[in-house]
Chain A
Amino acid sequence: MTTDTTHNTAPSHGTDHAVEHGMSTRGYINIALILAAITALEVSTYYVDFGPLFLPSLLIMMVVKFFMVVSYFMHLKFDNKLFSWLFYAGLFLAVGVYVAALATFHFFLR
């Protein structure tokens, strides 16, 4: 709206800046290489016996990959915090309610 010149709740740098200040092409490729390496490590658990570390290491690698894509490729790390709040609200709510629901099935005791 042409007349809507409002800036009341902590105006941030606009979206374009966030992206431009995000990362270089080189940076993106580095992230992708790290992601590829972690994936290779994940797949290796199928061939190599990790013993008791198997489950925790897989879950940790999954979480690391997840947040690397969210933070760097989706720019949440550089973007306005409001975006993070909105997305993580849904994410953690989902984790919370579904883990609780599975717990009532004694899923984690099996």
Chain B
Amino acid sequence: MELTLSILLGFMIIGAIFALHAKDLLSAVIAAGIVGYSLVICFLLLKAPDLAIVQIVVETITLIIMVAVVLDSTRQELSVKIDRQQIINISLAVIFMLVLVFFFIQAINTLNPFGEHSLRMASAYVGETASKTGSANLVTGVLFDFRGYDTLGEATILFTAAIGVLTILRIKGKK
């Protein structure tokens, strides 16, 4: 199990590195699609079918939007020369990464090993969702009953994003 996941994650890392270094923006977008679709397989292996369904549809729609934008503008990647600003950026990135690695090492020591998660907080959810809400799918039960505020916030963000896109992309006013 852990080996399969590691291979998939390695595949995702290779796709991500290629996406950042591709000379053609269209191939960069498609390489980002590799990462997203590998994520679907990871979700299926980790016993999360709800997430797999959502992710495969959402990734397809994201890819359609990105390809439409890239084909509409330009496919050329900028020719990047190494100058002073670029060196400053790279060193800043390395410093940030080292700081994050330090905190990651601290955090990983407190985590349980993979596959031995303790249901400390979720035991109430797992035990009572079915009897209290009558929902057979525990994820839906948690999402719409115990964690209703999160769902409301999510719907609000989606609404705001749609309004924002409409506002940004409007050239002619509505009569």
Q: Do A and B come from one complex?
A: no
Residues of A whose CB lies within 8 Å of any CB of B are none
